[in-house]
Structure formats: C-alpha cells, structure tokens
Amino acid sequence: MEQYLFDKTKSHLYHKKMDFNELLAIMAALRSERGCPWDKEQTADSLKPFILEETYEVLEAIDEAQPDALKEELGDLLFQVIFQAQLAQERNDFDMSDVIDVIARKMVARHPHVFGNADCKTSGDVLVQWESQKKAEGKQKQSVTDGIPRTLPALLRAHRIQDRVSRVGFDWKTLDDVMVKLDEELGEFRNAMKHNLKNEIQNELGDILFVLVNVSRFIGVNPEEALGKTIAKFLGRFRYMEMAAAHKGKHLSDMTLSEMDELWNEAKKEK
C-alpha cells in the first residue's frame, strides 16, 4: 500500500473505497522516512489536544443531526486512535490489532447475557453485571468511583459519580427528596450571599450545581447536554439581537438595556 502513496501515477487507488488495513498503511506511510514532517514530529502527548477536539466535533455533529458531518468526524476521531496505536507500535508496546483484540474480548466477557448464559432483563441488571465482571477481572478498584476521568467536564463528571454511588444504594429515594435538598442548598447560598461570605458562596454554589445534577439524573436528562442546548439557544438568540441591532444601524453596546430586552423578546419568538 505504501508504494502507491508515493507513486502519483497510481491515481486509480483513490477511485475505490478504502478499507481499514489501507488506513493503517496510510498512517504508517505518514510516519515513514518519506512521510509527512508534521506527522513524524508528533508524540502521544502532543496529540492529546486533538483527541479531545475531535471528540467534541463528533458530539457536535451528533447534536446537529448531520450524517455527512458525523461520518467525517468519526473518521477524524478514528484516525487519532490509529495514530496512537502507530506510535505504540513504534515503541514496541502494542499495535492496532492488539487494541482490537482487547476491546473485543472485553465486550464478550462483559456481556455474558448476550454471549453466555447469564440473564439480564433490564439495563439496571446489565450495569450490575458489568460491575461484577470488572471485579472478576480485577479491574474494580478500591472505590466504585475510581476510573472516572478527572478531566471530564464537571457536570458530566458529577453525573457519572452520582450514578456510580447510586449502584451501591447511596442515593435519594425520590425526586421530591432531591428537591427538598435543593431548597435547602438555595437557602444556604442566600445566607452566604447575605453575609458576603466569599468562600461559602463558592462552596454553596457548587452544592447547588451538584444537587441539580442529581435532579437531572432522576428525571433522565444528561446535564451536560441540557446545558449545551441552553448555551446554543442563548447564542442563537444573542446573534439575532446583534443582527437586528445592525439592521437598525446600531451596536448592542450603544443600546439601553430596555432596547436590548425588546430585541431579546423578538429573538425568543424567532428562536
């Protein structure tokens, strides 16, 4: 495969649908002696920002329900996985076939209700089985919260932590119980604000957000997605305001708050 990549006379190569092995060969060619200077300079650490960026671009394509964009972004993310595997192969650590073998075996082992004789009737049963299998593999660490990446966005990390601890029974019984706790935290936040207790203000605000994540979990809403949609909605309305102001020959900074409120209400009707 690599010879074709350096032979521009073999243009017919690009007229057929490429497969996974050819993608691996492309990666190897990019890292070869005659490959790309930029690709040859990269390390596992230098590529970390790109993995994160490509992941978020996949999420954006999913949110926007754009199949063509999703297809492309999944490819970009896959290429980052292949890049890391190529670097590992060059270090004689492992190669892409090892990555595939490990995940395939893990999925079979952790789904005995599909590939074995275990019986799981609900998704809750599956989660219990999943944790049990991890423990059997020696992957379950000292705490049920171990393994949740510290680098996750805070709302998503809070959601994952709460979900994990709920599996061992540390949870509210009803949504009403959570709402009572939310009222309690709001009261403590107001008190901290009233007395200008700066450290307490931050702590109490964090408590409110944490309880709101619990609320989202009880009603089956992903808090990260919910906030993301609200941000997108806000940006759409704000951009409408900017364009509406420009249409009137003004900048938002030149307008009164009352005038901006009027544009905001217009935007709400449009967006």
What is the pLDDT, as a whole number, of residue 131?
73
Where residue 6 falls among pLDDT bands split at 50, 70, 90?
A: very low
Q: pLDDT tens digits, residue range 122-166?
A: 888 887 777 777 777 776 567 888 888 888 889 989 999 999 899
pLDDT mean over 181-199: 95
Q: What is the pLDDT of residue 2?
A: 46
Does residue 141 form part of some domain?
no
Whether residues 35 and 100 share a domain: the answer is yes
- Written as six digits, the tokens of 193 are 């604000």
What is the Cα–Cα distance from 40 to 21, expressed in whole angstroms? 20
Q: How many angstroms separate the CA atoms of 271 and 264, rounded? A: 10
Q: What is the pTM of this model?
A: 0.62
Domain annotation covers residue 118: no
Based on the domain organization, do 199 and 175 belong to the same domain? yes
Instruction: Give the residue numbers spanning the domain of 160.
Output: 151-219
CB-based contact 181:253 (threshold 8 Å): no
For 7-51, the pLDDT digits (tens) are 554 555 556 788 999 999 999 999 999 999 999 999 999 999 899
Establish if 60 belongs to a structural domain.
yes
Pair 20, 102 in one domain? yes
d(CA 67, CA 71): 6
The domain tally of the chain equals 3
Convert the pLDDT of each residue in 63-121 to its tens digit: 888 999 999 999 999 999 999 999 999 999 999 999 999 999 999 988 988 998 888 88
The per-residue pLDDT for 140 is: 59
So what's the pLDDT on residue 118?
82
Question: In sequence order, what are the residues at sequence separation of 6 or more whose Cβ sits closer than 8 angstroms to the Cβ of residue 110?
Answer: 129, 130, 133, 134
How high is the pLDDT of residue 132?
A: 76
Q: What pLDDT sits at residue 173?
A: 94
Contact 25, 82 (CB under 8 A): no
Residue 139 lies in a domain: no
Q: Are residues 26 and 98 in the same domain?
A: yes
The domain boundary, picked from 109, 143, 175, lies at: 109
pLDDT tens readout for residues 207-252 = 999 999 999 999 999 998 899 889 989 999 999 999 999 999 999 9
- Helix H, strand E, coil C: the string for the chain is CHHHHCCCCCHHHHHCCCCHHHHHHHHHHHCCCCCCHHHHHCCCCCCHHHHHHHHHHHHHHHHCCCHHHHHHHHHHHHHHHHHHHHHHHHCCCCCHHHHHHHHHHHHHHCCHHHHCCCCCCCHHHHHHHHHHHHHHCCCCCCCCCCCCCCCCCHHHHHHHHHHHHHCCCCCCCCHHHHHHHHHHHHHHHHHHHHCCCHHHHHHHHHHHHHHHHHHHHHCCCCHHHHHHHHHHHHHHHHHHHHHHHHHCCCCHHHCCHHHHHHHHHHHHHHC
- The owner of tokens 């002696």 is 33
Residue at 123 is within a domain: no
Q: Specify whether 18 is located in the same domain as 100.
A: yes
pLDDT at 128: 78
pLDDT at 135: 73
pLDDT at 1: 45
- Write the CA distances from 58 to 211, 223, 238, integer angstroms: 29, 18, 25
What is the structure's pLDDT at 7?
Answer: 54
pLDDT of residue 153: 87
The answer to whether the CB of 95 falls within 8 A of the CB of 23 is: no
CATH of the domain at 163: 1.10.287.1080
